[in-house]
Amino acid sequence: MVSSGIGEETYAPRMVFEGREETPTLRDGLLEMDDFFHDTIGKLLARSGVKPDEIDLLVVNVSMLAAVPSLTSRIVNHYKMRDDVRTFNLTGMGCSASLISVGIVSNTFRAQKDKVALVVTSESLSPNWYAGNDRSMILANCLFRSGGCAILLTNKRSLRHRCIFKLKTLVRTHHGGKDESYGCCIQKEDEQGRLGFHLAKNLPKAATRAFVDNLREISPKILPVRELVRFVAVYSMRSGAKRGKPPVINFKTGVEHFCIHTGGKAVIDGIGASLELSEHDLEPARMTLHRWGNTSASSLWYVLGYMEAKRRLKRGDRVLMISFGAGFKCNSCVWEVMRESGSGSGCGATVWDDCIQSYPPNSLANPFMAKYGWINNEDPATFVLPE
């Protein structure tokens, strides 16, 4: 916890605070999702003026909760959507599921015109909060927190003037064919039969491989030719000499902002080092991790929300989103800013509005050990449990 980069104002499922971590029920998971669905989707539809019966396509991604009827059916039922609404319910896709959902919508839009899509991305932690002692599975409790996001997408020309972002390109990389990558991030039971999420020590290596392959494919789509030529020339000279620091592509020649998945402090540091990003570039991801934790697939949108709240995004700017997920997957995309958004822009409130003035804080250190470190120095025989 001390080195996680996570603060003390994140959110967890109710059953954690009720002391029922070892006995979660299906109802806990469904209530967690319903609370999120009804609040967030309702606010989005009210703010946009879009009615539920105007939704043509609904995509929901919640990786670790499979319900019957599906979560998409719960939303369709609650909002009384049309009988012909097309629905996709994604599970098991991990933290990279948001961009997979966006990809499904994008592919559908290529074949069908004048459509409106609703993408809902979240995670159900209630049935997956680990109550055992396996270190590789306890780590997930330190990182993952409750949260979610709802997004409206459209290819209607009549709504173009209201759009805040435009999708330019999207690239998906899947290394599930490699055994090391497949097993580095997996849901399983420990030796006592407790269900949890295992994060292996080779996870950084698997993430790096997927990241490199993904960048190799997306770079020609978003960077100017002069930067690609410069990189190839420098790489060729360095390869011949076999010395010096390996060349790095300057992604700032093609994008202005970097929306990085908040998989943890090490993930943010690693991407920053690989792309030679400044602390200014990494600030949105670091602050999101501190305030909200790793909210799985929805974390990208909290990072984007920070940029909006800080009024960083200007018309014409390009935003590179990078996400990682179990499988192992690395997905990325680029958005073009169509108009400014955020507090005071006329585009509505952001999730950061009630706390953005206090960010960035003076310190990101977690006071966990200062509060509870005494446990390591006391005689367990003297412990007294509260009534």
pLDDT in tens, the chain (387 residues): 777 889 889 999 999 999 898 889 999 999 999 999 999 999 999 999 999 999 999 999 999 998 999 999 999 999 999 999 999 999 999 899 999 999 999 999 999 999 999 999 999 999 889 989 888 888 888 889 999 999 999 999 999 999 999 999 999 999 999 999 999 988 889 999 888 888 888 888 899 899 999 999 999 999 989 888 888 888 777 665 556 677 788 899 999 999 999 988 888 998 999 899 999 999 999 999 999 999 999 999 999 999 999 999 999 999 999 999 998 999 999 999 998 875 544 455 789 998 999 999 888 887 887 787 777 776 777 666 666
Exactly one of 89, 149, 214, 257 is catalytic; name it: 257
198 is catalytic: no
> 288-318: buried (b, 16+ CB within 10 Å) or exposed (e) per residue?
bbbbbbbbbbbbbbbbbbbbbbbebbeeebb
The answer to whether residues 294 and 144 touch, using CB atoms and an 8 Å cutoff, is yes
The residue type of 34 is D
Exactly one of 89, 294, 331, 366 is catalytic; name it: 294
Distance, CA of 204 to CA of 101 (rounded, Å): 25
**CA-wise closest residue to 36 among 115, 165, 186, 145:** 145
Query: Cβ contacts of residue 256 below 8 Å, gap of 6+?
Result: 317, 318, 319
Burial label, 383 (beta-carbon count in 10 A; 0-12, 13-18, 19+)? exposed
95 is catalytic: yes
Distance, CA of 345 to CA of 353 (rounded, Å): 12
Exactly one of 61, 89, 95, 331 is catalytic; name it: 95
Exactly one of 261, 331, 333, 366 is catalytic; name it: 261
290 is catalytic: yes
Helices (H) and strands (E) in the chain, counts: 12, 10
280 is catalytic: no
Distance, CA of 185 to CA of 197 (rounded, Å): 7
163 is catalytic: no
174 is catalytic: yes
CA separation (Å) from 233 to 236, 242, 248, 274, 285?
5, 14, 12, 19, 32
Instruction: For the beta carbon of residue 52, count every other beta carbon within 10 angstroms.
Output: 18
Distance, CA of 131 to CA of 275 (rounded, Å): 37
Exactly one of 89, 141, 155, 290 is catalytic; name it: 290
What size, in residues, is the chain? 387
Exactly one of 174, 214, 330, 331 is catalytic; name it: 174
Report pTM. 0.91
